[in-house]
Chain A
């Protein structure tokens, strides 16, 4: 099946630093989503992107839909301890909710 790659797999940063992570695929997607999962919880949707080149922000989070439609990027500015978690990207090729493909996640640790 379809696969998404996320990099880095994990990262340790100092509180206050900015964070960048990305998600790539060999296939074109029509929608990109970014989720955050905290320990013991289910994923929570952070940002949804619907067209190539789109740049969307949600507080300190900014995500972009790559112009090739094969990638997406998530940036977190001025990280804080509660940013700790696993960040998943998900891509959708068709306009139905059951066709999402999820990446393996980037595990973020924030050191005080």
Chain B
């Protein structure tokens, strides 16, 4: 089992460009999450998906969109990247929303210039 995989690992964008971060899990989990991690701050939830076909906003959703493509895949899209979106992005999954244990991917380091 690969667990949670994320692509790409690194990305540099210019302001205004768009891109999609990909995430996939092979643990048959129902719930998936996108977080961002900034220096000196804890992880902050951007969006989550309780189950296939549903998505909900987290703490910091502005500037992002998500798609739960199927049970395995949950993508995060930046339509018009801004320097404030420079961060490390983590995808995570859990059996369901009531499960405390989330399994994290290795992260995508995004720089917006």
Query: For residue A48, which residues in chain B have a CB less than 8 angstroms away from its CB?
Result: 100-101
**Would A104 and B41 count as touching, CB distance under 8 A?**
yes
Q: Give the complex CA separation of A28 and B59 in angstroms.
A: 19
B6 to chain A, nearest CB (A): 8
- Contact-residue size bin, chain A (C-beta under 8 Å from the other chain): 20 to 34
A6-34 vs B: 1/0 string, CB under 8 Å?
00000000000000000000000001010
**Would A40 and B42 count as touching, CB distance under 8 A?**
no
Q: Give the complex CA separation of A102 and B48 in angstroms.
A: 16
Query: Quick one: which of B59, B101, B105 contacts A1, CB cutoff 8 A?
Result: B59
* Residue B16 is within 8 A (CB to CB) of chain A in the complex: no
B73-113 vs A: 1/0 string, CB under 8 Å?
00000000000000000101010111111101111000000
Contact stretch, chosen from A54-62, A65-73, A88-96: A88-96
